[in-house]
Amino acid sequence: MKISKYAGLLVFALLMVKLLVEVITVISDVTASSLWADNLNLIYIPIYYFWQRFSFVLISVIILANPSNLNKLNIDKNFLVLYSAAGTIYSIYYFWPTGWLGFLFVGLIVYRLLKNKFDLEQHAHPNSAMITAILVIVFCFYWLYRIMFVGTPVIDRYIAFFLEGSPFWVIEEVVFRGMLWASLEAFGWSRFRIVIAQALLFWISHIHYVLSDPVLFWLRIPILAVFLGILVWKYKSIYQSSIAHILFNGSPVFNGKVGQKRPKRVNERN
């Protein structure tokens, strides 16, 4: 459908503009130049706002408009259940101006799932519950380690961080390891090349951490991006990678980093 194509193009366009501004901002920070500060803010603020408020709606349009091609986006039934749960959180947290649309789209997705309106192929892969359990167990061991040797996390801040961020981590999976993956496959790329390409773009999209947390940017995020790509390659689903992504993003809270906040703009330096 044309509406699905336009929604996909808009998502990619938003992501690319956001990425470009992020890169320019980091360059400005490094060079201590405020020449572009006002212009960057004029571009970044509306793009960030639009991404935050409309990305779930656009992705939902793509899902609902392609009931017979979701396998190409590495979307299966388990992911749609997770996506609906994340969409409910998004709709509550961002009820105005687009959260109410989120409720509508979640309802439509759940209805189609119950009525088997999505043409979802069954892939030969281990039980999703087992994979989820393994990832959760690893996360819990990490939680226990941090509590024992670092200190008790601030639970209320963690919950707020999780509610605000989890819908967008799921959306990132659709964009990088769903839509981008399908586009590169359509060009005839091998899965190995796709894993490297999606990891590179995912890594660069987090360039705002290059100064605030170099270890995260140069080490943890590249490893995560490759790992998530391998999960999708092996299981042909972004459900497992979404769970891993959510759990990974939950771990920085124990270091006192309770969220992927909007990066400080060049004219907001102390």
Instruction: Choose among 106, 95, 96: nearest CA to 59.
Output: 106
Would you give the distance in Å from CA 145 to the centre of its chain?
26
pLDDT at 265: 40
Residue 18 domain flag = yes
Cβ count within 10 A of residue 204 = 15
Look-up: residue for tokens 């509590």?
A: 147
* Alpha-carbon Rg for the chain in angstroms: 19
Tell me the CB-side half-sphere exposure of residue 59, using CA atoms within 13 A.
31
- Average pLDDT for residues 85-103, to the nearest whole number? 88
Task: Write down the pTM of the prediction.
Answer: 0.83
Residue 267 domain flag = no
126 in Cβ contact with 92 (< 8 Å): no
Mind listing the pLDDT tens digit for each residue in 99-137?
899 999 999 999 999 999 898 866 545 566 666 676 677
What's the CA angle centered on 10, arms 9 and 16, to 5 degrees? 90
Residue 269 domain flag = no
pLDDT at 125: 53
Residue 61 domain flag = yes
Tell me the CB-side half-sphere exposure of residue 186, using CA atoms within 13 A.
9
Q: What is the Cα–Cα distance from 37 to 21, expressed in whole angstroms?
A: 11
- Average pLDDT for residues 179-187, to the nearest whole number? 91
Mind listing the pLDDT tens digit for each residue in 229-258?
999 999 999 999 999 998 888 775 444 454
Domain hosting 240: range is 2-261
Number of structural domains found in the chain: 1
